Amino acid sequence: MTRHVPLSFGVVTILISILVLLLWIPLRQRYGVGTVLNALLVGPSADIGLWLIPAGQPLWMRIVFFALGLLILSMATGLYIGAHFGPGPRDGLMTGLHRRTGWPIWIVRTGLEVTVVVIGWILGGVVGVGTLIFALSVGPLCQYFMRIFEIRMPVSAGSAPRRVDTQADAGALALDHDEDRAEQPQRELCEKGDPERLE
């Protein structure tokens, strides 16, 4: 997009975030304060990072940057979604499609990444080895870390703690506590005494 409009990468990122949020409407995806902060802060943060990290580094250093960036991004996805303040625009699209289709997170995320790579290539963006590695690996990594950082939610007195499976329920991260309590009896079915994972 930056090849076609006189805007920085960060500003374009914010504008695309707003467009992606419109795709939440048919998915009935819920937003939270984290959604807004993500949409407004990721773009400027990217601009700062591009300014701080100089171009023309040796190949080995660029490989290290790439590997660390991919790992940290995937871990951060699990961490901030697990915080239950609302997913960012792209991650909310991922979790919303997961809830609607029932497909695993990694398949949904990979499908989104491949689609965006094709659109970017058509617009004249650079598609390299790193692009393909990222598109095909970020989905499985995000699913892995979303499971690692899933959150245990308390229930009423006398009940066993329920666990929110961030793979299956990460899209409903901005649940209103009153609505959550109202729906709780339907979700507290147990199988052989073990808390059932929310779906």
Q: Where are the domains of the chain?
A: 9-148
Structure token digits, residue 87: 């997913």
Q: Answer for the pair 91, 77: CB distance below 8 angstroms, yes or no.
A: yes
Split at pLDDT 50, 70, 90, the class of 197 is very low
Count CA atoms within 13 Å of residue 65 on its CB side: 14
pTM: 0.73
Cα separations in angstroms, 191 against 155, 195, 197? 17, 7, 10
Per-residue pLDDT, averaged over 161-168, amounts to 44
Per-residue pLDDT, averaged over 29-52, amounts to 92
H or E element at residue 152? strand 151-153
Q: Write down the pLDDT at residue 187.
A: 40
Residue range 120-145, pLDDT digits in tens: 999 999 999 999 999 999 999 999 99
